[in-house]
Structure 1
Amino acid sequence: MRDVSRRGMIGMGAGAAAALGLGACGTAHEEGGSTPGGSHSGDPGAPKIPARPLGDGSTAFTGKQPRQPGRPVPLEPGETPPQFVIFSWDGAGEVGTGLFERFLDLAEAHQAHMTFFLSGLYLLPESKKRLYLPPNNAPGASDIGYLTDEHIKMTLKGVRRAWLDGHEIGTHFNGHFCSGYGTVANWTPKQWRSEIHQAKSFVKEWRTNTGWTDLPSLPFDYDKELIGGRTPCLLGQSNLLPTARELGWRYDASSPGGRQRWPRKTQGVWDLPLQAIPFPGHSFEVLSMDYNMLANQSVNSTKAPSYNYPGWRTQSAGAYIAGFRRAYETNRAPLFIGNHFEEWNGGIYMDAVEKAFKHIAREKEKGGDVRLVSFRQFVDWLDVQRPEVLAGLQSLEVGQKPADGWKGLAERAGKGSSAGAGKAA
């Protein structure tokens, strides 16, 4: 396995060294099989209008994205809010493990949507790596490896299917620099603009950069599709946000550790952080991402002794489920879960997130107002809500029910007061 070190670290427990939260990371690369990503031929949700190639034909305008939920509507004052759950994937590169296809199939089986934060370098051949000019780093440098040609083709296939299935394609930027002089933590707004421009160009110009003319275009206009991202290791958000706002981005998922509360905007952009959630068997909480489970269980080792795997798998799934239950039964704050297409510690984190996903999907299928959506779909909903209704939701603490129900909360919000919330669970 290549380059799974040098992650950003964020403390999540009060004075507890074991409660370290680790920032988002790119896909590490296994040398392995050649199982391709999922095919999408015959998809009934595929665009019906003729594709209009954009630029060199790497992308194409194909009309409105298929398989989208209906137009969001404002909550009525006093109406119980839905429970939103957003599963997201950092890197979104397919390296022959079949994980991209596995989770696309899972989402399709449950009519759910997700967000895939694509690393731009995963569409750039290593032979062309010097086209990448990372801020404060040498041309072509990257703290994640470049994909093989075969894996680039698999990634293109997965991204193509993901969009046609109704999922969002965000960005995880490019070189994933988390330490040293060139760390993203120190990049200026101008440097973030360069990084974003390059991330988009690698998606929009993969055909030129690879020379491949026999593969179909990505079926979207990335200039319009891209409205948010997650930075490497959750670093550098403060300098990213001015640029994100200027570019018209609507959200950012890079905040270094949040809580299970209703989100607010920061510098005019919705701030949608990974969250501290209960960690079964511990008094501290853990950040809602697979690598953070690993960091707390095996002290960053990705190949710990296998006798630990069953317990760790159960513990990780239990953390996600506990976070879901706490929100669903109290303040209905959205739950944000981050993942990587990785087989760390025998693939237990992929099994854990699938178990949690199925648990949450069952609640939806039993008739609960649970919505498995992308970040784009979630901010679409946020943006049509009445300010006083959002203020009421934002007044609720973690695990806190409205003292006299949702109607009472709406009445207080309408009067400009956040008093009267119930006790935290």
Structure 2
Amino acid sequence: MSSMSRRTLLTTTAGAAAALAAAGCGASSSGGTGESAPHVPHGAGGGPAGGTGRTRAPHQAVTLIGDGSTAHTGPQPNQPVAERLEPGQTPPQFVIFSWDGAGEVGNGLFPRFRKLAADHGATMTFFLSGLYLLPEQEKLHYAPPNNPPGASDIGYLTNEHLRATLDNIRQAWLDGHEIGTHFNGHFCGGHGSVAHWTPADWHSEIEQAKGFVTSWKTATGWHDQDPLPFDYEKELVGGRTPCLLGQHNLLPTAAELGWRYDASSPGGIQVWPEKKHGVWDLPLQLIPFPGHRFEVLSMDYNMLANQSHAATRSDPRNYPGWRSQATASYLAGFQRAYETNRAPFYIGNHFEEWNGGIYMDAVEEALKHIASARHPDVRLVSFRQFVDWMDAQDPAVLAKLRTLDVGERPTGGWREFLADT
């Protein structure tokens, strides 16, 4: 694998989950009671299947956009080259880590996982909540659909944390990560829930989210700060809705705005994806949950919902076992897909220290474990990089891949299975 290619992480398969229910930031399966620095080169992996080779942009002049909150700085560094599969070639195993909210609130989790990604040659997707770049004293500039002006169910960041978030978003993009959106106010219940929003409501929410990112200097008065090094109008090609709600009415707006994917569906299984309204539908997926007959959605919140019934601070005596269970769940999901249909694996996270931070530890340990296996055909990428690869493929090949069910191996092996496409 070249020093600029990507590797590694998880997969899953999905069987039958007993129930799904939206709760908190996700939905979970619980058998009927669910709640829901600079780039560091890789040490292994590679091969043409994954889109080998990465581009590092030469030094570019900075051209400010608008009030200077964002800027044109040239092509994003550390991006893979998407290559088309050859007939009979084994597809790579893609694993996409994503982070909802993506704010740094003083717990050090944002820089922790940027470093982890750099250490293991990974890129991720950070779904930034637009309100995290709007000072609370300016909150009345936010007009959430079906909610009072300035309302938000996730609150606003302090100035210190807003600065830290800007620093981390800035460096994350330069490291090669994607900056998507988690929208703004995170409304999950009642009349104002995103579940009830119309396509026009979603359009308003998205335009406001973009506005907060592209005008934070005006809102904060920090005109001496460096800009974010990207054009957000071009960078923003996908997102995940709060609590995995409202995708049905979001998709027409997403398609109208030219989005390339949406990661908001809660009921996915580990199969190759397809498009809805011309937008790639990339849902969280059901994966094995050790010790149970049902499966769990591939998100930290859903692990929590099944282990501590959505309590974020439980008896610490349970933490070691729950941490091991969550880690094993990710690894079991990876192994199932890697050894069978090679469907991409999507993992959702939050920068939260729920139950003593065990879910952050589980994600880190799973990533490290699979990275250390040095599989030559595993790719740790962002959602945007994954859909770049998908769009580079022969549609007939993708259609053939979609015929494989959860945990199903290709008949006759990959060489035979894809030989005639």
Q: What TM-score results when the alignment is normalised by the length of structure 2?
A: 0.89
Show structure 1 runs of 4+ deviating over 6 A. Answer: none
Q: 1:8 to 1:355 in 2, by over 3 A?
A: closer
Q: How far apart are 1:407 and its partner, in Å?
A: 2.7
Q: How far apart are 1:283 and its partner, in Å?
A: 0.5
The within-5 A match list for 1:2-21 is 7=24, 10=27, 12=29, 16-18=31-33, 20-21=34-35
The C-alpha deviation readout for 1:359-417, integer Å capped at 9, x for no partner, is: 12123xx24200000000000000011111111111000000012111332256x4xxx
Q: Partners in 2 of 1:72 and 1:214 — Cα distance?
A: 38
Q: Partners in 2 of 1:331 and 1:219 — Cα distance?
A: 38
1:382 corresponds in structure 2 to 390
1:68 corresponds in structure 2 to 79
SS in 1 for 2:180: strand
2:47 corresponds in structure 1 to none
Q: Partners in 2 of 1:263 and 1:202 — Cα distance?
A: 31
Q: How far apart are 1:73 and its partner, in Å?
A: 1.2
Q: Partners in 1 of 2:354 and 2:225 — Cα distance?
A: 31
Identify which of 370, 395, 399 aligns with 2:403.
395
Q: Does the 8 A contact of 1:6 with 1:179 survive in 2?
A: no
Q: Does the 8 A contact of 1:11 with 1:17 survive in 2?
A: no
Q: Does the 8 A contact of 1:86 with 1:115 survive in 2?
A: yes
2:379 corresponds in structure 1 to 371
Identify which of 320, 324, 328 aligns with 1:310.
320
Q: Partners in 2 of 1:303 and 1:114 — Cα distance?
A: 28
1:122 corresponds in structure 2 to 132
Q: Structure 1 stretches of 5 or more lacking a match?
A: 23-38, 415-425
Q: 1:47 to 1:204 in 2, by over 3 A?
A: farther
The C-alpha deviation readout for 1:47-78, integer Å capped at 9, x for no partner, is: 61111000000000000001111x21111121
SS in 2 for 1:401: coil
1:55 corresponds in structure 2 to 66
Q: Partners in 1 of 2:270 and 2:209 — Cα distance?
A: 30
Identify which of 77, 98, 119 aligns with 1:109.
119
CA RMSD across the alignment: 1.7
2:159 corresponds in structure 1 to 149
Q: Does the 8 A contact of 1:275 with 1:336 survive in 2?
A: yes
Q: Partners in 1 of 2:93 and 2:360 — Cα distance?
A: 23
The within-5 A match list for 1:18-33 is 18=33, 20-22=34-36
Q: Partners in 2 of 1:306 and 1:46 — Cα distance?
A: 47
1:27 corresponds in structure 2 to none
Q: 1:11 to 1:95 in 2, by over 3 A?
A: closer
Q: Partners in 2 of 1:136 and 1:239 — Cα distance?
A: 15
SS in 2 for 1:308: helix
1:133 corresponds in structure 2 to 143
The C-alpha deviation readout for 1:304-333, integer Å capped at 9, x for no partner, is: 010000000000011111110000000000
Q: Does the 8 A contact of 1:125 with 1:147 survive in 2?
A: yes
Q: Partners in 2 of 1:357 and 1:215 — Cα distance?
A: 34
Q: Does the 8 A contact of 1:227 with 1:250 survive in 2?
A: yes
Counterpart code for 2:66: G
Q: What TM-score results when the alignment is normalised by the length of structure 1?
A: 0.88
Q: How far apart are 1:213 and its partner, in Å?
A: 1.7
SS in 1 for 2:313: coil
Is 1:78–2:96 an aligned residue pair? no
Q: Does the 8 A contact of 1:122 with 1:147 survive in 2?
A: yes
Is 1:273–2:283 an aligned residue pair? yes
Q: Does the 8 A contact of 2:27 with 2:243 survive in 1?
A: no
The C-alpha deviation readout for 1:241-281, integer Å capped at 9, x for no partner, is: 00000100000000122000000001110000000000011
Q: How far apart are 1:11 and its partner, in Å?
A: 5.5
Q: 1:391 to 1:162 in 2, by over 3 A?
A: same
SS in 2 for 1:383: helix
Is 1:176–2:186 an aligned residue pair? yes
The C-alpha deviation readout for 1:70-107, integer Å capped at 9, x for no partner, is: x2111112110000000000000000011000000000
1:294 corresponds in structure 2 to 304
Identify which of 344, 351, 361 aligns with 2:371.
361
Q: 1:156 to 1:9 in 2, by over 3 A?
A: closer
Q: Partners in 2 of 1:9 and 1:90 — Cα distance?
A: 10
Counterpart code for 1:83: Q
Counterpart code for 1:403: T
Counterpart code for 2:409: K
